Amino acid sequence: MRRSSLWQKNVALNIVLGVLLLIMFLNLLFIGLFVDKILEELFPGGDHIVIVNGIIIYYLAIEFFIRFFIQALPTLNIETYLHLPIRKSSIVHYVASKSIFVIGNYISWIVLFPFAFKVIGPAYNAGMAWIWVLTLILLVFSNNFFATYIKRQLIGKSYIVGFIGLVFISLIMLDYFGVISLSALSSSAFGQLLAHPFFVIVPLLILIFTYGLNYFFLKSKLYPEEINIKRKEKVDALSNIKYLKTIGLTGLLISLDMRLIWRHKRTRSILFMAPIFLAYGLIFYPQTEYKGAYGLLIFVGIFMTGGMMLNYTNYCFGYESNYFDNILANYKEFERYLYGKYIFAVSIASVCYILTIPYVFFGTDILLINTMTFLYNIGFLSFVLFYFSTYSKKRMDLSKGAAFNYQGLGASHWLSMLPAFLLPVFIYLPFKLMGMPKAGLLFIGALGVAGLLFHKYLLGLILKQFNKKKYDMAEGFRQ
């Protein structure tokens, strides 16, 4: 086992992650030990308690998103326990409470305790410091249970996740445009806690409520036959899309890819990161200093309209690595096979582009940039990425999450980032230097239109490359 290259890679990766965690721990420890001096440097003469109370809500929101995309769900194979003399409620409590021991629940303590006893304690008393710390700990654990519950909803009721996402985005937009101040609300809430300590009952009730959400959800799903039936119904619904049935084999291949993406944890977790790709423009488009920075905005446009497509085209063969031999043995028309994947990639990019159209609110130049980068993505970048993906030789386990998961990544995937993000900027720069920035944007779009016009020829080149590499890919996927 020690000679295995996979084992050695995992050891190396664990060492790197261990070093990074150690550095993060030391940084947090430094912040905790010198929190009073750091606050005085950053906010001289300000009320440090009010300032920290005002950013707590932002910290909890960021922590929620990190947990949602990175923290693994606690699971248990209940079939091996149901025949034993164990109460079902005990099994549910065990699964629901397993996430308590995640290290992320305790990292913030390194800063919370020093701040409480070096800043809050002298300003109030030691008892108030303990109450403040206890409140934050209860909210952190509530955050943990709430993020866990929302992740579990991805399997059966994904619309709940979408609704929660819309609520978060709405609050961010209202705060950004000054309609409400989340910082003021946070500061006021924790100020009331310090003035009236009995309010500590509120975070305790929130913790009980979020734990109850997990408990009753798991209890309702305790019967495996019910889970299997609902999962089968959900997946089969994707294969019953009428339009896909009208376009023959291409529609069937797209349906299979849709079912693959929805059925597996790694692909599904990437799918639910789409709102982050689409919200990326909110960081740059509202800022006046970026209005004329077309080079940067091209990068943003590529990322928003093509980020999901880039992920799919980069790994489209790796996703099928578990049964790639079966594809080679049973598929006869590889031209249709590749064409189906191309149409699916174009469809992904098209949906993302349509969802970015409201960014025209920040200016017509934004719509022009997004349109030109969209054309570049579907008419040029898609073919380049498909070509690079034929060099995939690493098997992928789709049952694992996408966060910090580098399984299946090879040199070809990193090289594909160059034409994805750097090439359009390099194309634009000469036009920028000649004082014709919009001509540069139009040229990027024209490159994509040319690719669309010659898509059959380009797909033919990819087909030749696929036929040349398919057996090497199959051999690599067996490793």
Residues 300 and 439 in one domain: yes
Q: What is the pLDDT of residue 133?
A: 92
Residues 21 and 112 in one domain: no
pLDDT of 153-199, one tens digit each? 766 565 666 677 677 777 777 776 777 888 888 888 888 888 888 88
Residues 24 and 41 in one domain: no
Question: Within a domain: residue 259?
Answer: no
Residues 29 and 67 in one domain: no
Counting as low any pLDDT under 50, the low residues of the chain are: 1, 4-9, 226-236, 402-408, 411
pTM of the model: 0.59
Question: Within a domain: residue 234?
Answer: no
Residues 352 and 409 in one domain: yes
Q: Are the CB atoms for 136 and 111 separated by under 8 Å?
A: no
Q: What is the pLDDT of residue 82?
A: 65
Residues 25 and 40 in one domain: no
Residues 206 and 333 in one domain: no
Residues 408 and 282 in one domain: yes
Question: Within a domain: residue 239?
Answer: no
pLDDT of 40-98, one tens digit each? 887 787 788 888 888 888 888 888 877 876 777 777 766 666 667 778 788 888 888 88
Question: Within a domain: residue 237?
Answer: no
Q: What is the pLDDT of residue 315?
A: 80
The amino acid present at 7, given as its one-letter code, is: W
CA 297 to chain centroid: 21
Question: Within a domain: residue 433?
Answer: yes
Residues 54-60: contacts with CB within 8 Å, 24+ apart?
A: 54/183, 54/184, 54/186, 54/187, 55/183, 55/186, 56/136, 56/139, 56/186, 56/190, 57/182, 57/183, 57/185, 57/186, 58/182, 58/183, 58/186, 59/108, 60/139, 60/140, 60/143
Q: What is the pLDDT of residue 3?
A: 52
Domain range enclosing 367: 264-477
Given its phi and psi angles, is residue 44 left (phi above 0), alpha (psi -120 to 50 degrees) or beta? beta
Residues 41 and 29 in one domain: no
Q: What is the pLDDT of residue 147?
A: 87
Q: What is the pLDDT of residue 132?
A: 92
CA atoms within 13 A on the CB side of 84: 8
Q: What is the pLDDT of residue 234?
A: 47
Q: What is the pLDDT of residue 360?
A: 83
Residues 361 and 299 in one domain: yes
Number of structural domains found in the chain: 3
Question: Within a domain: residue 343?
Answer: yes
Q: Are the CB atoms for 396 and 320 separated by under 8 Å?
A: no
Residues 373 and 308 in one domain: yes
Residues 278 and 343 in one domain: yes
